[in-house]
């Protein structure tokens, strides 16, 4: 174990898989000599050269389409789209092509591609560069949707995604890139579609992921002084999600809250809440399921407004006290 950043963990996962398998390559805007818009691929061009770290045209449709085509013909591309907001330009290639081919060809075609993309607010990049759109992709059968909340998760989940034979959308929250954490050296793989109990508790279950995990952890630490014990569950894979672990946790604590940065309406929190209320856990609930989510507004440019349209430590703390009354 050593401490490295979230960005370095992603770089390490990609580099190790490219050394292990010559069919793995990286493609995207400015991923080569420049090292990526957020510096995630720094050094990879020097090691692997222009054939395996390929700068692409400024066309997200081309990036996603070329990745799907390369994958179905035997390669294992890692495609980077600079901001998740720009995935809107590649939706046909992802939703109608990559997600459908394995099913439509009766399993004879595989699409082992990973589309990496940073999402979320907090950098002052305003409404067109700050969205959290993961729920869109969770609505598409055939796509796997993964998000990593820690540097160790980033390495383990991305390695698993690269080795998977299905198209995986891998979301990276921009504010996590410089966060440091303990990350295992060498080959490190975490299973997809397995939720992680980050912290055990007995009074309330909070389901959260991505940048909201450290926000929730700070809120949980704040209420612990009043004797409130909170269990935190990180789904890691948003689709297909391991809901059993979440349901078991709620049956233990009898209360459930979902915290995510994305807008509340149509967000993944509604799907998780439905899974809880449609299960046996419904009969164990001592309070309605609560969602603490982003407001249904475009992300503002103003720093103070931007900070307050998404869940904060104070908002999560207040919601915990409200549920425990």
- Alpha helices, H only, 225-267: 243-253
Cα gap 72→70, rounded to integer Å: 6
Tokens of 30: 């400015």
Tokens of 205: 């279950």
Active site residue 129: yes
DSSP one-letter string for 110-172? ----EEEEEE-SSSS--TTS----HHHHHTSTT-EEEE-SSHHHHHHHHHHHHH-SS-EEEEE
Cα gap 140→247, rounded to integer Å: 23
Residue pair 84/262 in contact (Cβ under 8 Å)? The answer is no
- What's the angle, vertex CA 134, arms to CA 285 and CA 87, rounded to 5? 170
CA-only gyration radius of the chain, Å? 19
Active site residues: 129
């Amino acid at each position: 174990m050593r401490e490295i950043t979230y960005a370095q963990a992603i770089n390490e996962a990609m580099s190790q898989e490219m050394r292990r398998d010559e069919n793995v390559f990286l493609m995207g805007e400015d991923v080569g000599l420049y090292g990526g818009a957020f510096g995630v691929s720094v050094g990879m061009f020097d090691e692997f050269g222009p054939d395996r770290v390929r700068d692409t045209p400024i066309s997200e449709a081309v990036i996603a389409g070329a990745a799907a085509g390369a994958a179905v013909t035997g390669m294992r591309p890692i495609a980077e789209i600079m901001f998740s907001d720009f995935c809107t330009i590649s939706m046909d290639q992802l939703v109608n092509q990559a997600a459908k081919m394995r099913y439509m060809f009766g399993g004879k075609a595989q699409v082992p591609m990973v589309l990496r993309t940073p999402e979320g607010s907090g950098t002052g990049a305003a409404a067109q560069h700050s969205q959290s759109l993961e729920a869109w992709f969770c609505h598409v059968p055939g796509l796997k949707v993964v998000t990593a909340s820690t540097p160790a998760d980033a390495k383990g989940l991305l390695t698993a995604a690269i080795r998977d034979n299905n198209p995986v959308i891998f979301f990276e929250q921009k504010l996590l890139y410089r966060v440091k954490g303990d990350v295992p050296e060498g080959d490190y793989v975490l299973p997809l579609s397995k939720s992680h109990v980050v912290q055990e508790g007995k009074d309330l279950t909070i389901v959260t992921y991505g940048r909201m995990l450290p926000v929730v952890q700070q809120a949980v630490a704040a209420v612990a002084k009043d004797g409130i014990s909170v269990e935190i569950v990180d789904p890691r894979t948003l689709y297909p999600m391991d809901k059993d672990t979440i349901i078991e946790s709620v049956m233990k604590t009898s209360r459930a809250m979902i915290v995510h940065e994305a807008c509340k309406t149509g967000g993944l929190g509604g799907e998780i809440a439905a899974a809880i209320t449609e299960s046996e856990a419904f009969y164990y609930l001592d309070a309605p399921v609560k969602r603490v989510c982003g407001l249904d507004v475009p992300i503002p440019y103003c720093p103070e407004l931007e900070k307050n349209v998404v869940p904060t430590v104070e908002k999560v703390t207040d919601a915990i006290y409200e549920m425990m009354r």
